[in-house]
Structures are given as structure tokens and as C-alpha cells.
């Protein structure tokens, strides 16, 4: 799990300045705001610490993206604290700020004692989170090395700092959390060469060739976590890009599954090319692309993409009618498109309901376009994107033992000293390539593995 500590800076000075009763009012509002943020990202407030809170992500409900959720919650808690600080400054003339620290690792969690002490987490990793809080700057968030590793590619981090913490003889590495990026967690990671999947790659390459010729298709890539769904999608995307085909991506995340339009808006922003432009430039570009569209439909589309003119008045129609009109606009643009494109929807098992409904409607015209749509999802997903008429499915099975051995050998290198370790990793990975890669990466970052000659 990931543990979060948040504490008020100089709380004793604030207490002396405003009095105990006013301090209680301030802390009550701060804790209520912070708890709402923690709960929004799937965390659990463990306890009130007197001048802050402790929260946990990953227990009692397991969360595979617990570190990412904790980072987003930490930034949200700081934002709430800064908003409250304005009121406190105006009312009391004192400065209110928080330090927040995060650490990830294994802990003991559960009911403690026979009384009404409640659910909590204990262990060395809890203490490390508290130490990270103690070295965070006022208004900032500090991550331990373990948390920083888990959010690599998803968070914007400062340069590593060596900080001194209580109980450690030597300085330990830490990272300042600066923000969260809007890209997939695997982007930017150095990957091993693709092992196995020859048949699967041949299949999607054939579909890509047909799409380029004008015969679009929808293909679902299904398999359990870590089996290689995203990797297959990235390999296809790279192949398409090398052939001059436009590639547009969206990905769904567990903490956004209740945010309407989240996945579909992200995909449409990429496909329309408005990402990165200011709102006015984005609207101008959109109107160049669909110059013959109904002006009211364009207003609805602007709103969906998050580029609406604040002075524009949207048509007063019910949500279903709104979706139908936007869908008709998008489908008309797809049918008019002459150049080939690849659209990737990752982790559809986490898609929000509105995006799922709209994307399902978009997919109905894909066979008539020069487009290939790849949808990745886990076996438990049985939603509309897995049941599309005419959609093809590629089910990814675990790698065979020889394939897993080849992957691990590639990751570890040929030195005889790692031969036995390689066999152990092969057995533990059980044919799941991501597990093999993560085990080797973890061992390397902990210094258990060293490159020969270093």
C-alpha cells in the first residue's frame, strides 16, 4: 500500500495565535476537506493525528495503482489546504500550510486490539511516510524512493534529493511531487524486445494493412493484468506510425471510472488535434476540420472537448439528445476521413459509462472507414466495447516457459552469476512478461543486480 501523512506546519504557533476553540474549527474543516479528497481517490483515512491526518491507499480494498491515487490525493489535499489558508489569513491573520509525505511498501493492516481502536496500518513503511512528511517543504509533497518508482511515467517529479530523516544514519533519497502527467504509465519506460506474440502481431498487422486500404476493423485484445495487452498496442502503434498512419490514444484508469466523458473526451482531443492549444485556437482548428457542421453541434462538441467559449450559450437539450448529436458529428467526420488512422482505447474495463456508450456508437461506422480500432481489456469486462458487432478478439495467453526464459535472459544478460536467479524469476513470473520485467527492475534498483564491469 501507499501511506500518506499530512501535518499542519507550526500548528503550536497557530494555536497560540488563535486559541484552542478557533484551532479546533480550522482543523475540523481541514480534516473534512482532506478526508473528502482521500475518499474520492479510493483511500481510507486511518486516523486524525492532532494536527493532520494519516491515510492509506491499497487497504482494506486492494488497489494496483495505489501510489498514483495517493499522489493525486496528496496534491488535492494541498489544494484544499491552500484554499482554506486564504480564509484563515483573512479571518485570523495567520499562515496555514501543510507538509505531505508518501511512502509505499508492505505493512501490517487490520483491526488492532480487542477494543474499538479500529482499522489501522503499522510497520516500518508507515514510519517512513511520516519521515517523508517531516522533510517536505511547506505546501509541498515529498515521495520516498519506493513511491517515486511506482509512479514513474505518471507523475512529474523533482530531481532526487538526499534528505536526513530521524532513525537513519545516512541520508535517504526522496523526490518532490510537482504534478501528475496526463499520459500512460508505461510511456518513457525502456522496454525489452518483444518475445513471443508472433501470431498476434501478424494478425493485427494484417488488420492494419486492410485498414490502410480502406477496410476498417475493430479488434479487442483481452488478457489478465501484465500479460502484454498494452505492449501489443504500442508495438502496433509504432508500426502504424512508421507507415505514416496517424495514431490516437486514450486510456482508462480506475480512479476515473466515475467521471463522465473522461475517456471519450481524451480520445477526441487527440483525434481532433486540439490538445495543447488554447481554447480559442482549438475552436478555430476544429471549425476548419468540420466546416460544414451545424453551429449548435459544434458548441456541444466544444463543451465535450473542454474548449467551450465561456460566453457561448449551449442548446437546451436533454443528455441523450446531446450524445446523439455529438455522435452523429463524430461519425460523419470519420466517414469523411480519407487518410488511415489507428485509435487505441486501453483498459476498457475501467471506462466510464458515458464514454463506453459513445465509443460503442462511434465503432459502428469504423468498417466503412480507413481506421483500425484497438480496445484492450481484462477477461472480466463484458461491456459494450467487448460485444461490438463484427469486432474481432485476440486473447493473450501466458508466455511459454521457453519464451519466458528467453525474456528473462534478455533482461539479465549472459553473465553466469545470474543463471540461477533467472530460473527463479522465470518460475515466479508464470508466463506474465510484466511480472518478469518488474522483478528484474526492482532487483536492479535495490542494487541486488549490477551491470557487469560497473
Q: Which residues contact 393 (CB under 8 A, 6 or more apart)?
A: 219, 220, 221, 222, 386
Sign of the alpha-carbon dihedral angle for 196, 199, 203, 208:
positive
Residue 438: closest CA among 411, 404, 401: 411
Report the pLDDT value the prediction gives residue 86, as an integer from 0 to 100: 94
Kindly give the parts of the chain with pLDDT less than 70: 111-119, 182-191, 452-454
Report the pLDDT value the prediction gives residue 220, as an integer from 0 to 100: 95
Is the preceding peptide bond at 60 cis, omega within 30 degrees of 0? Answer: yes
CB 196 within 8 A of CB 325: no
Report the pLDDT value the prediction gives residue 191, as an integer from 0 to 100: 64
Q: What fold is seen in the domain 198-382? A: Rossmann fold (3.40.50)
Distance CA 395, CA 386 (A): 12
Report the pLDDT value the prediction gives residue 185, as an integer from 0 to 100: 47
**Can you tell me whether residue 335 is helix, strand or coil?**
helix
Distance CA 55, CA 39 (A): 10
Distance CA 210, CA 221 (A): 18
Report the pLDDT value the prediction gives residue 112, as an integer from 0 to 100: 63
Distance CA 452, CA 356 (A): 49
What does each C-alpha distance from 222 to 72, 192, 385, 404 come to in angstroms? 28, 21, 11, 19
Residue 385: closest CA among 349, 421, 416, 432: 349
Domain positions in the chain are 2-180, 198-382, 401-445
Bridging pattern class, strands 98-104 and 141-144: parallel
Indicate the class that CATH gives domain 2-180: alpha beta
| Residue range 239-280, pLDDT digits in tens | 999 999 999 999 888 878 888 888 999 999 889 888 878 889
Distance CA 214, CA 235 (A): 21
Query: Other C-beta atoms within 10 Å of 89: how many?
Result: 12
Report the pLDDT value the prediction gives residue 187, as an integer from 0 to 100: 43
For the record, the C-alpha cell of 104 comes out as 509505499
Amino acid at each position: 500500500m501507499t501511506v500518506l501523512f499530512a501535518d499542519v506546519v507550526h500548528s503550536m504557533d497557530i494555536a497560540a495565535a488563535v486559541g484552542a476553540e478557533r484551532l479546533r474549527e480550522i482543523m475540523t474543516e481541514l480534516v473534512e476537506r482532506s478526508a473528502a479528497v482521500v475518499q474520492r481517490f479510493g483511500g481510507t483515512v486511518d486516523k486524525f493525528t492532532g494536527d493532520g491526518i494519516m491515510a492509506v491507499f491499497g487497504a482494506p480494498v486492494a488497489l494496483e495503482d495505489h501510489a498514483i491515487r495517493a499522489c493525486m490525493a496528496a496534491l488535492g489535499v494541498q489544494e484544499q489546504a491552500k484554499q482554506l489558508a486564504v480564509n484563515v489569513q483573512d479571518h485570523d491573520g495567520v499562515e496555514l500550510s501543510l507538509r505531505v509525505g508518501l511512502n509505499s511498501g508492505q505493512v501490517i493492516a487490520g483491526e488492532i486490539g480487542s477494543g474499538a481502536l479500529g482499522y489501522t496500518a503499522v510497520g516500518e513503511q508507515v514510519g517512513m511516510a511520516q519521515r517523508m512528511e517531516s522533510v517536505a517543504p511547506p505546501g509541498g509533497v515529498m515521495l520516498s524512493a519506493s513511491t517515486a518508482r511506482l509512479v514513474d511515467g505518471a507523475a512529474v517529479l523533482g530531481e532526487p534529493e538526499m534528505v536526513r530523516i530521524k532513525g537513519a544514519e545516512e541520508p535517504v533519497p526522496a523526490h518532490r511531487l510537482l504534478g501528475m502527467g496526463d499520459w500512460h504509465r508505461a510511456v518513457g519506460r525502456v522496454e525489452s524486445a518483444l518475445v513471443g506474440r508472433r501470431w498476434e502481431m501478424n494478425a493485427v498487422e494484417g488488420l492494419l494493412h486492410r485498414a490502410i486500404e480502406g477496410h476498417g476493423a475493430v479488434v479487442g485484445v483481452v488478457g489478465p493484468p501484465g500479460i502484454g495487452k498494452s505492449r501489443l498496442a504500442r508495438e502496433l502503434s509504432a508500426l502504424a506510425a512508421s507507415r505514416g498512419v496517424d495514431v490516437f490514444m486514450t486510456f482508462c484508469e480506475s480512479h476515473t471510472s466515475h467521471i463522465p466523458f473522461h475517456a471519450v473526451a481524451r480520445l477526441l482531443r487527440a483525434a481532433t488535434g486540439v490538445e495543447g492549444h488554447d481554447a480559442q485556437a482549438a475552436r478555430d482548428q476544429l471549425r476548419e476540420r468540420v466546416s460544414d457542421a451545424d453551429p449548435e453541434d459544434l458548441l456541444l462538441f466544444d463543451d465535450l472537448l473542454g474548449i467551450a467559449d465561456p460566453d457561448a450559450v449551449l442548446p437546451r437539450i436533454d443528455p441523450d439528445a446531446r450524445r446523439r448529436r455529438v455522435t452523429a458529428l463524430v461519425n460523419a467526420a470519420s466517414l469523411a476521413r480519407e487518410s488511415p488512422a489507428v485509435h487505441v482505447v486501453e483498459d476498457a474495463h475501467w471506462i466510464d459509462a458515458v464514454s463506453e456508450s459513445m465509443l460503442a456508437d462511434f465503432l459502428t461506422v469504423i468498417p466503412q472507414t480507413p481506421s483500425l480500432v484497438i480496445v484492450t481489456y481484462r477477461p472480466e469486462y463484458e461491456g459494450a466495447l467487448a460485444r461490438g458487432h463484427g469486432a474481432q478478439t485476440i486473447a493473450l495467453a501466458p508466455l511459454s516457459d521457453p519464451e519466458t526464459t528467453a525474456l528473462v535472459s534478455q533482461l539479465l544478460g549472459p553473465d553466469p552469476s545470474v543463471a540461477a536467479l533467472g530460473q527463479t524469476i522465470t518460475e515466479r513470473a508464470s508466463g506474465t512478461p510484466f511480472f518478469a520485467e518488474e522483478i528484474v527492475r526492482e532487483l536492479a534498483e535495490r542494487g541486488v543486480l549490477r551491470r557487469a564491469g560497473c
